[in-house]
Structure 1
Amino acid sequence: MVRLYNCHPYGSQRIVPTKQVPEVFCCGGDSVFVTCAGGCKVEVFTVCKDLCQPLCSFNTLGKVLDMKYCDIGDYLVTIESKNNISALRTYVNWRCQATVSSRISVRMLGIRLESCHSGSAKDQMEIIEMPLSDPPLSLACCPMRGDLLVGCKSKLIIFSLKYMSVRDVPVLDFERSLILHVMGIIPTHITFCAGYIGISADLEVLLIKLMPTPSESPETTSPNQKELETVPDKEPKNPLPLQSHLRELDDFVMCQRPVELVGEECKSCSVLVTPESTGLSTDLTRPSQVYHVLYRRFAPDFSEGLSVENTRLHSLQLLPIYKTGFVIDSEETTPQKELLSLFCFFSLPHTGYLYTVANEVKQISVYRYPERSQQAVLTPQFLHVITSNNLQCFTVRCSAAAARDEDPYIDTTMKTCPPVTLDVCTLRMQLFIGLKAIDHFKNYIIILTKADIEDVTVKGKSPKTMHSWKSGSVKNKTLPETGPGWNLYVVSTMSTIQIYNELVEYSRRYDTMKTHGSIHLLSEAHLLVRASLMAPNVDEITEKAELIAAFKDSCASLGQCFSRLDTKHSHLTLPYFKMSGLSVSKVIQRVLSNEFSLDYGKGFMFYLKHTLFEELDEELSEDMALKALQIFSNREPSHLPYVLCSSCMANVCPKKAMDCLRKLESSSPSALISLTKASMALRMQDAKTCEIEIQRHPEMLLLCGFVDEPRLLMRHRSKEMIPTQMAYHFKDIQPGLLVASAVALHENSKIHLKNAEIFFKVLCEKMDDDENIPQMLVDFWEALLSTYPTESILQDILFKLSSHYVCRIRDLQQHTCVKPLKSPEDLRNSCSHFGIISPWISRLVSSETASCLDCGDLMKLQSLLCGPSMDIPSFLPLLKFIPEENNSNLSIHIICETRMMEYENAIERLLDRCPEAVIQYARHEIKNGSQALWWNKLLPELCHRIRQSESENKTLIASLRDTLEVISVELELQDFLNVLPDDGTAVFFLPYLLNQRKLDI
């Protein structure tokens, strides 16, 4: 569907002051090139600030049949005819013809430049003859690289643009780099851009892409090459002139079926393209691979008779859109444009088709013309179409598609763009009599009009008159040079800001309560501005600033329109208001100031909820906060607790908020509402009411309330963690509830471990003190272990806790004692990560009195090391911070040695420092496969130490007896005798021998 609006995209118009009837023209840069009927001369006119003035003129070597100008290289290429022979020529450095005394040189492509260039080459125009084996039929220039594409009857030839230096003079040259042999179609129109080539005939369009052959497989051939090898050397089965699509059979006209093929499907079409490399450059020595991108065939349209001219395709065009930045080529120092999106347009007399082809081949728009078109030009902002008497301007969707190519995630809650499928519209139908041709450059439209008596006479005839298709070929009428009327116009298009303002003003006609007309017009204005911002030539700061301001204004207007909707698209209110840059206050004011503000749409409520639920730096004023409170209280009261916890609502009146919460609680009470009321009570410094509200629910429900709304305790602002007033209250009154709440938040993925740690450090005002970790953070770590976190988090917490315990043990005399929430016994009972402390450890430290019994850090560390989860190797580096000055510290070292299975070292340490704990250690730790240590290590060591002691050591002797009891039971009699010492003290061991003997009997 095409919408029709009456806007004014066209501004002033100037007549190109050519003296004779224009025959062929083209434009580009800042110039218009014109050749007149029957002449061999090119006139050049410069266009600047709506002025069109002669710049220069130069003679050609023949009659110009077609010509194209290329911005890259600033050259003009022509197809000229002389003596009925067509030739291809390129005119370089033509601007010097503005000087009367300028020189002209002619050279053949491929001749050494040194031999034909003098020192004054920079002051002369150069004509480059490009010899071809077949007559050239069509031309196209690549707007990105400046390469030239020439179409012949059965081949396409690519000439690569080269920059050279001859005697320190920059010279432009070409090289024939690639020939594409085409079978199955005669290229009547071609287009070329970024390696993409478009070919069109009467009713067929083919788009191909050239890719270099991979160096890894130099023998690889394209699918088309393989297919071509199997085709006999004869004419293609489906030649492309229009008559091939029509077949007469008993007064019936038979046509081929329309078809559209994309990608791999194109292989089934009848058009074959074979590459042949002819270049000498290192990057073009291998033939390119040809990939089919799009093929489409149409059935002829005989709604206006069987005339050939009424059915042919026209205006094939490739339109590139570039990224905003530039890339530097590795071999050249000049910046190169980087392609973002590529669009392909072609048109039938009554219908135009627009495709995006760079990243995904997809049809994005179909244009229906009210009357038969003659030609069209596509720009990033508009499609300009001429009929016999009308210049029409259609909107395009190129910027919408390009925006999604640049950012595939553009359709989110943060940003969006009008859809590519948005209905196209006609902005203007400007009357011109006798329109013949159209071209476009920068902000100008060039149109050629020729009106004569025959045109006026023919216009009165019925267009529905049916003629025989055999005589359908319309002969070109030679217009006399002194015809009744001809003109070549330069029509300036209005600036983007002017058209934008007109579209916005136009949208107000549709600005009713719930209409889509205003949204469509504002979307058109938005895409118009977006297209201008994506243009690579937006360099002026003032122009760009105006476009950015218009872009934000369009986003605000679209957001306001969607805010009144209750449809599936109402959610777009949020991203459009986000992109507008408006504050929440201004958005509320903008919506409330509207005459339809009495009924808030779903879109506005969607925006307000999501915005107030986010952590924003903005704080609403008391009046604005009150309005937001009233809006939610009336429309969605269930969201009041979440809204009141927003940082934006910091200035809301707590008393009025309490009234709204009481009203809500009367219908649906919950722990979240009570917690929110408690928060409001703290704002009013009413601690008693706060305690009453908290005590109304058990702790488990309170934890669920905090999980539902974490902002009751903590808020983010500019990447900072800010505890709330309620958090500080719980810190002093109910620290256990605060820690349990943080654990619940972490367990439900509402807060990361790092943020939770920052929260407790800020809460305890020890953010910059890495040495003195707040006890509440330690309580959090200990409580978090009871939730059995994942392995990565578990090891992180275990390391942090063990490091903290080591620091506290090391500075036992200096640290400030703070009673923890859980004792070592509580931790062992609630969490399996804390193990049971072995009896030998208790015996080892029983002779010492800890200086701080309230903390229990030593016992916690002992229990942690005895547990199954602690990674002992990661803890070993911390041992160097624990001196062995007392048995308490020694126990940590021995536990680590035991966990590392270094029992011999542990036994020696115990015999040195606490022999009475040796047997308990052995009984508890030396088991199963390690029992040989009893008789191989412990027994000899005890005997040795007893002999070395000057006085009788009852502890060692008692340990020896206990050891003998174990050995006598575990070993056979002969083995037992073998381990006994042979120093004559067998009497001492006699009772154990007798006992062993009894056991054997």
Structure 2
Amino acid sequence: MVQLYNCHPYGSQLIVPTKQVPELFCCGRDSVFVTCAGGCKVEVFTVSGDLCQPLCSFNTLGKVLRMTYSDVGDYLVTIEEKNNISYLRAYMNWRCQATGTSRVSVRMVGLQMESLHSGTSKDQMEIIEMPLSEPPVCLACCPMRGDLLVGCKTKLVVFSLKYVSIHDTTLLDFERSLILHVTGMAILQVKFCAEYVSILSELEVLIVKLIPPSSEAAVATSRNLETQETLPDQGNQDPVPGSSPPLQPDDFVVCQRPVELTGEECKSCNVSVTPELTGLSSRSQSPSQVLHIMYRHFAPDFSEGISVENTRLHSLQLLPMYKTGRLVAGDQTSSPQRELLSLFCFFSMPHTGYLYTVGNVVELISVYRYPERSQQAVLTPQFLHVITSNNLLCYTVRCSAVAARDEDPYIDTTMKTCPPVSLDVCTLRMQLFIGLKAMEHFKNYIIILTKAHFEDVTEKGRNPKSSKKAGSVKGKVPVETEPNWNLYVVSTMSTIQLYNEMVEYSKKYDTMKTQSSIHLLSEAHLLVRAALMAPHLEDSAEKAELLAVYRESCASLGHCYSRLDTKYSHLALPYFKMSCLSMSEVINRVLSDELPQDRGKGFMFYLKHSLLEELDEELGEEMALKVLQIFNDTEPAQLPCVLCSPCMKNVCPKKAIGYLEKAESASNSGLVSLTKASMALRMNDPETCKNQMDQQPEMLLLCGFMNEPRLLLIHRNKEIIPTQMAFHLKETQPGLLVASIVALHENGKIKLKDAEIFFKVLCENSKDEENIPQMLVDFWEALLSTYPPDSVLHDILFKLSSRYVCRICKPQHICVSPLKNAEDLRNSCSHFGLISPWITKMVASESTSCYECGDLIKLQSLLCGPSMDIGSFLPFLEFIPDDDNTTLSIHIICETRLMEYEKSIDRLLDRCPEAVIQYARHELRDRSQALWWNKMLPELCSRIRESGNKNTIFISSLRDTLEVISTELELQDFVNLLPDDGVAAFFLPYLLNQNKRKLVT
């Protein structure tokens, strides 16, 4: 693994034209701020392209000890010293000094802005003084909101940036909103971003998150703090009797062991941060809570004495990355802010740097080893820049890989991917500078301060061996000799230019069976990803160019992985997908390699998955033949699946059959026969198709369709397209076609809605919602035999009922023979019930088309079955007439299912009295049996009287009724039921029968 790549991330360099020796500098937006040694003045230089020119200068009120710039608010804040007293000042509207004006106003923070004079000019610089109870030590500005964090010896003070409109003028002001009291840690550096605060001492790093009072996390944190306060103080307990006396601090040097704590573990660290709200707008609220995120303590290295220089921490930073294209509205007068996506924390020891992600999870993602002692390090979304005494180092970072996964947790799929966060870091460049002292970064520039004494320059030019010998006689340099100093503005190379160089560099390893080429291409890919996530990019020509490079990067990575035979070879698929290359372009790119063995598992994995997907692309005949040859050489068993792909539509059928015959000799299966039959149909050879189908039993053909549904249907642009084989089976073997679709649905390979669309398109009436094809009805009926879940069952029952009713109500419809009649359906599943004898009696005398087609019988059977919900069917009754016995039977079935027996009896006596006895024998049982004598007997007697004893059907029915009653009732009850109209001779035989039965018992 090559750790050092000799690329060129640095381009041209400019010299900041300051005339005196720079002491401090900072930068931001388009400016560089410089203070010279011993001076009370800030010089500002503007950087634009290849020019670095003076912009303006302004005086400070004391010697500048620290300063930093905030891009949000465009202000400079300084720690100044005058008469051994430290001051904190913020310089607002300093750009007006470039116009030559010298107007300056000084005010204290917290001043009532309304008291300002109405004629306050926009062309004057404002200095805001911020008094503190302790001398300030360090500064930090929030890159998202522009708030200021000031570190003192024992506390941190947060000043919130405010936009105030006064006299039609928007002014900037600060509000002292929060004080964080820190105990157990000496504050040397602080950083501030959104709600996160990081603190650095000589050997410790602490990261905390400020929780708003209203959030649930604040409540939980408050409870945890209360729990900690109630714990006994172990440090003040009396020693245990018999134990050794405690060690005296003067006797030993006690060194803490290195420790790293995250999350809940941070509670055990000895550093506490206590919040105190001070802002006027927050007085009524409860104090904010502080959540410890990460704590790390390093052990000092005393190998060279008691100094901690070998382990002293430096270069603390918090780096935010933002969600692409998402803005969060700020105040009414402020500009919108980017939405935070990921947050990274970096800090460094003299020889090692540590990069953590602290946004969603806390995790150490990279460790950087420096070849020599570092002076300072600066982290950017693309690189880590480190200066030693004489070298500027450029390391790769993993920020874009983390941010990509934070933005899309499902990024590592077959459709998309990203180089791993665990990818080894590497050095891109070691650039020589003599006397490096300090470094800053903004945009695409790095500001470097060098101060080289005369002996440093001469020593650098000597031979190392000779310098050892001449070390004792080295000439002395006068103390008053001025050092050679320079302040450089070094431009970093454009992303695209550096990407191209890294790609060219990777070709050195292209022919080697190592990961070096992929590693460098992954670095280049992450470089482009980071550039695309830059907040200033928006929609521009630069973004379009970067997107083109991004796709080319994905194609290059896909090509590399396609030649591998390792566990990572599958990454060829998502990278080729992200490249937006067509399948033909990918195949040509891979086949262009001189060595055919370079087509590894990665390429085959891509090819198989692409052919399995429902792509719109159709390969040409020549390209399709190449694909066949590839699979014939590598995986001939996959040929049937390859030929079923829509991409292979243009393949030569004759040549395809030739390849299939070779595959069939090794494995004779139904799938191969079906594929050959499909190819024969493409050649308009139905005879060969029939022969191939006849070679296999129907069950094997059904399994073949199960293994490869694309023989029957293709998904394209959310449309269902039946294949030529499906149309052929519709005419020749409709039962096999319906059974195949049912099996596909049962195994989850096609949705019910898609199957219905398939049959509608197949029968060429996809837009006619009323005309349901018979084959679709056959599919619904066949699907019932698979006993689908209740949700599907009720849906199918409703559709079948609707279809049967529609045909019954339109007796002139075209009768198409179904695959199964009512008897077949009753034998295949229990959802269709036995038809009662009285129903058969009713329709025996009728002859209608719906009866001949079986729709009426199927509906009657469905209504008699156990699965049909009669309540959902009732709305259909409004459309079913009752003018004949066939349709009347449907009404009476529903009434009977609703237990409306009396109404049904009346209808039968009026319309079909010959069926009333069979109805009563079948339905009037158990609790409804009393209707025999309470309903049937009185009704029959009444109707016989009305007809003058001439209706033989009523008389016959009455005899049957009396037969049932005489066997069910006692003699006395039976006599009481007889009518009192004097016609006793008619009932005499039944009375005698009752009497004999009574004597026998």
TM-score range relative to shorter protein: over 0.9
3-state SS in 2 of match to 1:4: coil
Residue 327 (structure 1) shift:
3.1
C-alpha distance in 1 between matches for 2:149 and 2:295: 20
The letter for the 1-side match of 2:576 is: F
CA offsets, 1:402-428, max 9 Å, x none?
Answer: 000000000000000000000111111
| 1:700 matches 2:674 | no
User: Is the contact between residue 513 and residue 596 of structure 1 (CA under 8 Å) also seen in structure 2?
Assistant: no
Which residue is 2:838 aligned to?
Answer: 840
Contact 2:2 2:516 in 1 (8 A): no
Is contact 1:319–1:378 with CA below 8 Å preserved after alignment?
yes
Change (3 A) 1:723 1:233: closer
Quote the residue 1:335 is aligned against: 336
The alpha-carbon deviation at position 352 of structure 1 amounts to 0.4
**1:341-420 counterparts in 2 under 5 A?**
341-420=342-421
Match of 2:914 in 1: 916
Partner deviation per Cα, 1:120-176 (whole Å, 9 max, x = no partner): 331111111101000000000100011110001110111111100111110101101
Conserved in 1, the CA contact under 8 Å of 2:218 and 2:288? no
Deviation of 1:216 after TM superposition, in Å, equals 8.1
Report the alpha carbon displacement of residue 697 of structure 1 after superposing the two structures with TM: 1.2
- Indicate the residue corresponding to 1:123 in structure 2: 123
Instruction: State the distance in 2 between where 1:528 and 1:316 align.
Output: 23
Distance in structure 1 (CA, Å) of the matches to 2:479 and 2:44: 22
| CA deviation profile, 1:4-47 (whole Å, cap 9, x unmatched) | 10000001111111111111111111111111111111111111
2 CA distance for matches of 1:233 and 1:445?
50
Q: What is the CA-CA distance between 1:973 and the residue it aligns to?
A: 2.2
* Cα 1:628–1:248 shift into 2, 3 Å: farther
Distance 1:160 1:692 in 2: 84
Identify if the C-alpha distance between structure 1 residues 460 and 443 changes in structure 2 by more than 3 Å, giving closer, same or farther: closer
- CA distance in structure 2 between the partners assigned to 1:761 and 1:44 by the alignment: 76
TM-superposed CA distance for 1:330, in Å, is 7.2
Q: Percent identity?
A: 74
Contact preservation (8 Å) 2:949, 2:955: no
Cα deviation code 1:962-988 (max 9, x no counterpart):
111111111122222332223333332
In structure 1, the residue matched to 2:179 is 179
What is the SS of the residue equivalent to 1:255? Answer: coil
1:373 partner amino acid: S
The Cα shift of 1:941 comes to: 1.4
Instruction: Give the superposition deviation at 1:924.
Output: 0.5
Q: Structure 1 residues 281 and 24, CA, compared in 2 at 3 Å: closer, same or farther? A: same
Q: Counterpart of 1:816?
A: 814
Does the Cα contact within 8 Å between 1:269 and 1:295 map onto a contact in 2? yes
Where 1:308 maps in the other structure, the secondary structure is: coil
Please tell me the residue identity of whatever aligns with 2:960.
D
Amino acid at match of 1:914: C
CA distances 1:190-226 after superposition (whole Å, capped 9, x unpaired) = 0000110000100100000000123789987636754
Give SS of 1:942's match.
helix
Give me the whole-angstrom Cα distance separating, in 1, the residues matched to 2:63 and 2:230. 42
Residue 278 (structure 1) aligns with: 278
Aligned partner of 1:902 in structure 2 is: 900
Distance 1:308 1:633 in 2: 68
Cα–Cα, structure 1 residues 2 and 626, in superposed 2: closer, same or farther, change >3 Å? Answer: closer
After superposition, the Cα gap between the structure-2 partners of 1:306 and 1:435, relative to the gap in structure 1 and judged at 3 Å, is farther
Question: Contact conserved, 2:448 with 2:489, CA < 8 A, in 1?
Answer: yes
Distance in structure 1 (CA, Å) of the matches to 2:284 and 2:594: 66
The offset of 1:692, in angstroms, is 1.1
- Structure 2's unaligned 5+ residue stretches are 238-246, 465-477
Q: Which residue of 2 is the match for residue 626 of structure 1?
A: 625
Output the CA distance in 1 between the equivalents of 2:422 and 2:175.
42
Q: Please tell me the residue identity of whatever aligns with 2:350.
A: P
Map 1:39-58 to 2 at 5 A.
39-58=39-58
CA spacing shift, 1:303–1:761, aligned 2, 3 Å: farther
Question: Cα 1:323–1:979, aligned 2, differ >3 Å: closer, same or farther?
Answer: same
| Cα distance in 2, alignment partners of residues 970 and 44 from structure 1 | 116
Please say if residues 140 and 150 of structure 1, whose CA atoms lie closer than 8 Å, have aligned partners that are also in contact.
yes
Instruction: Name the SS for the 1:153 alignment partner.
Output: coil
Corresponding residue for 2:785? 786
State the partner residue of 1:964. 962
CA distance in 1, matches of 2:541, 2:504: 23
Secondary structure in 2 aligned to 1:69? strand
- 1:24 partner amino acid: L
* Structure 1 counterpart of 2:474: none
SS of the aligned residue for 1:936 comes to helix
Contact 1:446–1:489 (CA under 8 A) maintained in structure 2: yes
Displacement of 1:399 in angstroms is: 0.2
Question: 1:399·1:531 contact (CA, 8 Å) conserved in 2?
Answer: yes
Alignment deviations for residues 714-748 of structure 1 (CA, whole Å, 9 cap, x no partner): 11111111111111111111111111111111111
State the one-letter code of the partner of 2:753: K
The CA deviation at 1:248 is 11
2:746 aligned partner, one-letter code: E
CA distance in 1, matches of 2:132, 2:460: 42
Q: 1:306: how far off? A: 4.8
Contact 1:37 1:481 in 2 (8 A): no
CA deviation digits over 1:336-369, x for unaligned, max 9?
2100000010000000000111101111000000
Match of 1:137 in 2: 137
User: Aligned pair 1:290/2:294, yes or no?
Assistant: no
What's the TM-score once normalised by structure 2's chain length?
0.94
State the Cα distance separating 1:229 from its structure 2 match.
4.9
Query: After superposition, where does 1:193-208 map in structure 2 within 5 Å?
Result: 193-208=193-208
Change over 3 Å in CA distance of 1:748–1:218 after alignment to 2? closer
Q: CA deviation at 1:686?
A: 1.5
The aligned counterpart of 1:434 is 435
Structure 1: gaps of 5 or more residues: 238-246, 464-478
Answer yes or no: is the 8 Å Cα contact 2:144–2:194 preserved in 1.
yes
CA distance in 2, matches of 1:629, 1:220: 63
Q: Distance in 1 between matches of 2:521 and 2:328?
A: 37
TM-score (norm 1): 0.94
Query: What CA deviation, in whole Å up to 9, does each residue of 1:48-104 have, x standing for no partner?
Result: 113111111111111100011001111111101011111111111111111223410
Opposite residue 409 of structure 1, the aligned amino acid is Y
In the TM superposition, 1:136-155 aligns within 5 A as 136-155=136-155
Q: Please list the CA deviations of residues 855-903 of structure 1 after superposition, one character each: whole Å capped at 9, or x if unmatched.
A: 2111111111111111111111111111111110001111111111111
What residue in structure 2 maps to residue 470 of structure 1? none
The residue that corresponds to 2:71 in the other structure is 71
Shift of 1:854: 4.6
CA distance in 2, matches of 1:410, 1:542: 26
Quote how far apart the aligned CAs of 1:236 are.
13
State whether residues 179 and 277 of structure 1, in contact with CA within 8 Å, keep that contact through their aligned partners in structure 2: yes
Residue identity matched to 1:938: M
| 1:998, distance to aligned residue in structure 2 (A) | 1.8
User: Is the contact made by 2:808 and 2:850 (CA closer than 8 Å) also made in structure 1?
Assistant: no
2:637 corresponding residue in structure 1: 638
Correspondence for 2:32: 32
Structure 1 Cα separation of the partners of residues 773 and 745 of structure 2 = 19
For the 8 Å contact 2:328–2:339, the answer to whether it is kept is no
Write out per-residue CA displacement over residues 478-497 of structure 1, whole angstroms, 9 at most, x where no aligned residue: x9997231111111101100
**Is the contact between residue 183 and residue 236 of structure 1 (CA under 8 Å) also seen in structure 2?**
no
1:463-482 → structure 2 map (5 Å cutoff):
none
- Deviates further, 249-258 or 952-961: 249-258
- When residues 490 and 821 of structure 1 are mapped into structure 2, their CA distance, relative to the original with a 3 A threshold, is same
Taking the aligned partners of 1:999 and 1:223, their CA distance within structure 2 comes to 89
- The structure 1 residue matched to 2:993, chosen from 990, 995, 999, is 995
**2:337 aligned counterpart, secondary structure:** strand
**Equivalent residues in 2 for 1:830-979, closer than 5 Å:** 830-851=828-849, 854-950=852-948, 952-979=950-977
Q: Compare 780-789 and 220-229 and name the one that shifted more.
A: 220-229
Measured in 1, the distance between the counterparts of 2:996 and 2:916 equals: 28
SS in 2 for 1:310: coil
Compared CA separation, residues 214 and 819, structure 1 to 2 (3 A): same
Q: Which amino acid aligns with 2:806?
A: C
8 Å CA contact 2:330–2:337 kept in 1: the answer is: no
The residue identity in structure 2 corresponding to 1:800 is K
In 2, Cα distance between equivalents of 1:622 and 1:501? 35
Distance 1:412 1:618 in 2: 22
Equivalent residue number for residue 156 of structure 1? 156
Partner of 1:469: none
1:600 equivalent in alignment to 2:599: yes
Look up the equivalent residue of 1:706 and give its one-letter code: F
Q: Which residue of 1 aligns with 2:493?
A: 494
Q: Is the 8 A contact 1:11 1:491 kept in 2?
A: yes
Over aligned residue pairs, what C-alpha RMSD do you find? Answer: 2.4
Closer, same or farther: CA 320–375 of 1 in aligned 2, 3 Å: same
Q: How far apart, in 1, do the equivalents of 2:234 and 2:811 lie?
A: 100
Distance 2:284 2:386 in 1: 39
